[in-house]
């Protein structure tokens, strides 16, 4: 009987795997391999499920060896026996990873035809994508959507790789009104998302054996100018196949537009809503696309009265801002607040500022008015006195005329200054309202987290699996509505130029995960990096992650040692753009303003080694108070002060570690 059960089970399993393998065509399997090879996360975690000879597909260009994934796809499509897929192992991988693979495979299929999707050979696909657009064509084409003019417009809208800005320009040249452009683009992105949702679920079911919990949201934010291609690929130019044009796939994503119905301006942030437990899902798997390392986008997931922030590090996400490079949205918000709100208000209130000048004018006006009342009283008294010389009265009247002229000048000056103050206040109030709106994008009550191995545990029980890129919700808080918000990075403080970023957000059902409990061993070692604005003693981001890690060790003793690393140059160094150094912490000089904290554990003792550095630009330690600078004998900027600055940075970290609560 036991033998029979084993045989039956083996037959069922083998049959399932054969069905799974035969469900994918050779072309789809080759494309699936391409997706895995060109996606860092999938390659590292799913790459071992694909066996084939990689050597023939390496090409050398300018002395650099590079794997040609497209060549591998082309070859394996016509030689399917050269690729062996371990379907059993693949089906047991994380559902989030399989969902990302399924969705990217569906997207990759849509970018294969360089002429676009409006004339694709697959009639059902063409119908699914094109038909929803017909009702939004210009009125002159709605009754004849197969006409040359209509097909030209549909070719523009449905091109999978033309950036939004290019589509807008080309539709404008075709006399499509802004309102019609908006309706066509929205209908197109919705059609694409519906198709990719359905096709992605189909592939996900084929990979994972079930479709429980699969739900997709495709989001894009920025200015619509285009970004890196899907899988890093670009369209080849028709006039010169050795050169490239548009990035593949950047015409597929779902931009949201500004409020006016006739506006075709994409919003610099996008947000969608879903439910944590819909179809049995309990986790949000995120995959970023098009991230620029110099400027950080931000993903905010809000659940009720709390929020979870995820920062990009390369194409991955992390709750720890310390692992991200470039200017974050939090840095941008702080900089805009300082530039547009705090500084204008400070200029109004500073010594010699408009407020002081206006107050001085009011005081002078009051002095003149008092003097006028005195002179008028004197004249009145003199007129009542017998024998008064008329010259005394005339002299006072002349003084009154002069003072009246001065009074008029003061009143004009008061009106002028009042207008300037009012304009500055109005401008600051408007900026403050903008900052408040930007602040709202962060969501309510951002949750604190504690790192346990590769898992980040939030205070309310939600966890983020950094290895698999899953934000996991515990069962007791399911059925809550989630708001997923993608905020693009600003290229300048004005915010008019935005970096493009896309997000694939998949709701899936993942097995329970158990966070690793921190324990002490001789091999424990962790490193933290912090960066600084010029002259600053406190890092640009919170050191909570370091403190949380040290507390979790429960060490009986924590020893702290501080060293300095002061950068030097042959000639006197200076900032090319001092403002930029403060706005973008990780410039070339910014990388030298750092503190590296290495934690090593031996027995039950944690040893903390801090190396704090400065850039070579002379400092006057403006981050200290006048009294503190005077106590250190610092009166002006000097290279010699850089050693003091580095020491101050290290000592600040030492103090925070030695005074942390719970020790």
Task: Give the domain ranges of the chain.
Answer: 1-93, 114-339+444-510, 350-442, 525-661
Per residue, the 3-state secondary structure of 554-580, as one string, reads CCCEEEEEEEEEECCCCCCCCCCCHHH
For position 634, what pLDDT does the model report?
81
CB 129 within 8 A of CB 192: yes
**pLDDT, tens only, 393-432:** 788 888 889 989 999 999 999 999 999 988 888 888 888 8
Percent of the chain scoring above 90 in pLDDT: 35
Does this model's pTM top 0.85? My answer is: no
Chain centroid, CA 452 distance in Å: 24
- pLDDT bracket for residue 3 (50, 70, 90): very low
Residue 361 has pLDDT above 80, yes or no: yes
Residue 573, φ and ψ in degrees, nearest 5: -90, 155
Q: Does position 9 have pLDDT exceeding 60, yes or no?
A: no
Q: What is the mean pLDDT of the chain?
A: 83
Instruction: Give pLDDT, residue 88.
Output: 92
pLDDT-based confidence at residue 20 (cuts at 50, 70, 90): low
User: Is the separation of the CB atoms in 179 and 262 below 8 Å?
Assistant: yes
pLDDT at 118: 58
Higher-confidence position of 301 and 355 = 301
Convert 314-338 to b/e letters by CB count within 10 Å (16 or more is b). Answer: ebbbbbbbbbbbbbbbbbbbbbbbe
pLDDT tens per residue across span 637-655 = 888 888 889 999 999 999 9
Cα–Cα distance for residue pair 176/169, rounded to 1 Å: 10
Report pLDDT for 254.
86
**Rounded Cα–Cα distance for residues 231 and 217 (Å):** 19
Q: What is the pLDDT of residues 166-221, one digit of tens each?
A: 999 999 999 999 999 999 999 999 999 999 999 999 999 999 887 667 889 999 99
- In this prediction, residue 15 carries a pLDDT of 37
Q: What's the pLDDT at 586?
A: 55
Q: For 534-558, what is each residue's pLDDT tens digit?
A: 888 888 777 877 887 888 777 888 8
> Vertex 38, ends 35 and 41: CA angle to 5°?
90
214: helix, strand or coil: coil
pLDDT class of 116 with cuts at 50, 70, 90: low
| Kind plus residue range of the DSSP H or E element containing 74 | helix 69-78
CA 332 to chain centroid? 10
CA distances (Å), 465 to each of 42, 243, 283, 509, 548, in order? Answer: 15, 40, 10, 13, 17
What confidence category does residue 392 fall into, taking pLDDT thresholds of 50, 70 and 90?
confident
In this prediction, residue 547 carries a pLDDT of 85
> Do residues 67 and 54 make contact, with C-beta atoms less than 8 angstroms apart?
yes
Give the span between the Cα atoms of 87 and 121, in whole angstroms: 30
Q: Greater confidence, 433 or 290?
A: 433
Q: What is the average per-residue pLDDT within 5-13?
A: 34
Q: Which residues contact 506 (CB under 8 A, 6 or more apart)?
A: 96, 99, 100, 103, 200, 214, 215, 216, 217, 284, 285, 286, 287
CA distance 287 to 502: 8
For residue 224, give the nearest of 260, 185, 277, 197 by alpha carbon: 185
Q: What is the mean pLDDT of residues 95-103?
A: 96
Model pLDDT, residue 478: 63
User: Does residue 291 surpass a pLDDT of 50?
Assistant: yes
Instruction: Name the CATH topology of 350-442.
Output: Helix Hairpins (1.10.287)
* Torsion from C-alpha of 185, 187, 188, 190, nearest 10 degrees: 120
More confident call, 39 vs 13? 39
Query: Which range is least confidently modeled, 5-9, 192-196, 515-519?
Result: 5-9
Residue 456 pairs with which residues in a beta bridge?
Answer: 451, 464
Which of the two residues, 189 and 515, has the higher pLDDT score?
189
Region 431-459: what's the mean pLDDT? 87
Maximum CA extent, the chain: 143
613 or 228, higher pLDDT: 613
DSSP per position, 620-634: --TTS-HHHHHHTT-
Sequence-ordered strand ranges (E) for 368-514: 449-452, 455-458, 463-465, 470-472, 481-487, 501-508
Kindly state the average pLDDT of the residues 598-618.
Answer: 88
Stretch 370-377: mean pLDDT: 90
Identify the pLDDT of residue 626: 79
> Strand pairing partners for 196?
none
Mean pLDDT value of segment 388-392:
73
The most confident of 228-242, 330-344, 575-589, 642-656, by mean pLDDT? 642-656
Q: DSSP states of 287-299 as a string?
A: EEES--TTB--EE
Quick one: pLDDT at residue 522? 47
β-bridge partners, 525: 600
């Amino acid at each position: 009987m036991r033998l029979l059960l084993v045989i039956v089970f083996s037959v069922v399993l083998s049959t399932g795997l054969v069905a799974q393998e035969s469900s994918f065509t050779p072309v789809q399997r080759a494309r699936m391999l391409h997706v895995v090879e060109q996606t860092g996360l999938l390659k590292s975690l799913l790459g071992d499920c694909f066996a084939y000879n990689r050597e023939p597909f390496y090409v050398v260009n300018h002395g650099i060896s590079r794997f040609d994934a497209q060549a591998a796809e082309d070859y394996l499509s016509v030689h399917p026996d050269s690729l062996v897929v371990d379907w059993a192992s693949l089906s047991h991988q994380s559902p989030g990873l399989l969902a990302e693979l399924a969705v990217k495979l569906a997207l990759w299929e849509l970018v294969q035809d360089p002429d676009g999707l409006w004339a694709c050979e697959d009639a059902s696909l063409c119908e699914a994508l094109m038909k929803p657009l017909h009702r939004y064509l210009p009125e002159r084409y709605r009754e004849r959507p197969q006409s040359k003019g209509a097909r030209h417009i549909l070719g523009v809208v449905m091109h999978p790789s033309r950036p939004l800005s290019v589509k807008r320009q080309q539709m404008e040249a075709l006399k499509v009104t802004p309102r019609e452009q908006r309706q066509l683009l929205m209908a197109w992105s919705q059609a694409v998302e519906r198709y990719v949702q359905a096709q992605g679920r189909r592939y996900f079911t084929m990979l994972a054996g079930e479709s429980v919990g699969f739900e997709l949201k495709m989001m894009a934010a920025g200015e619509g100018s285009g970004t890196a291609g899907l899988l890093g690929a670009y369209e080849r130019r028709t006039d010169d196949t050795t050169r490239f044009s548009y990035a593949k796939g950047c015409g597929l994503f779902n931009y949201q537009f500004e409020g006016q119905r006739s506006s075709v301006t994409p919003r610099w942030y996008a947000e969608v809503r879903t439910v944590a437990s819909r179809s049995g899902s309990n986790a949000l798997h995120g995959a970023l696309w098009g991230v620029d390392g110099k400027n950080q986008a931000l993903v905010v997931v809000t659940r009720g009265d709390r929020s979870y922030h995820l920062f990009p590090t390369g194409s991955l996400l992390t709750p720890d801002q310390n692992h991200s490079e470039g200017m974050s949205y939090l840095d941008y918000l702080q900089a805009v607040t300082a530039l547009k709100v705090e500084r204008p208000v400070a200029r109004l209130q500073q010594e010699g500022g408009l407020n002081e000048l206006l107050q001085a004018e009011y005081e002078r006006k009051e002095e003149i008015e008092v003097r006028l009342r005195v002179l008028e009283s004197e004249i009145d008294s003199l007129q009542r006195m017998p024998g008064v010389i008329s010259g005394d009265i005339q002299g006072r009247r002349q003084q009154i005329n002069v003072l009246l002229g001065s009074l008029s000048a003061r009143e004009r000056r008061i009106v002028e200054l009042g207008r300037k103050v009012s304009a500055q206040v109005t401008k600051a109030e408007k900026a403050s309202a903008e900052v408040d709106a930007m602040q709202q994008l962060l969501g309510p009550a951002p949750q604190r987290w504690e790192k346990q191995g590769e898992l980040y545990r939030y205070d309310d029980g939600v966890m983020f699996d950094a290895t698999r890129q899953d934000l996991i919700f515990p069962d007791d808080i399911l059925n809550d509505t989630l708001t997923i918000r993608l905020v693009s990075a600003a290229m300048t403080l004005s915010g008019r130029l935005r970096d493009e970023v896309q997000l694939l957000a998949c709701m899936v059902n993942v097995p329970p995960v158990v966070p690793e409990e921190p324990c002490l061993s001789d091999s424990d070692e962790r490193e933290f990096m912090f960066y600084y604005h010029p002259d600053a003693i406190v890092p640009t981001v919170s050191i909570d992650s370091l403190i949380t890690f040290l507390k979790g060790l429960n060490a009986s003793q924590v020893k702290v040692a501080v060293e300095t690393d002061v950068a030097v140059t042959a000639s006197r160094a200076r900032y090319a753009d001092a403002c930029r150094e403060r706005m973008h912490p990780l410039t070339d000089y910014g990388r030298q303003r750092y503190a590296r904290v290495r934690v090593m554990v031996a027995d039950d003792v944690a040893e903390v080694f801090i190396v704090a550095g400065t850039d070579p630009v002379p400092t006057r330690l403006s981050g200290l108070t006048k009294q503190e600078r005077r106590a250190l004998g610092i009166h002006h900027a000097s290279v010699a002060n850089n050693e003091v600055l580095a020491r101050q940075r290290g000592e600040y970290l030492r103090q925070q570690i030695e005074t942390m609560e719970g020790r």
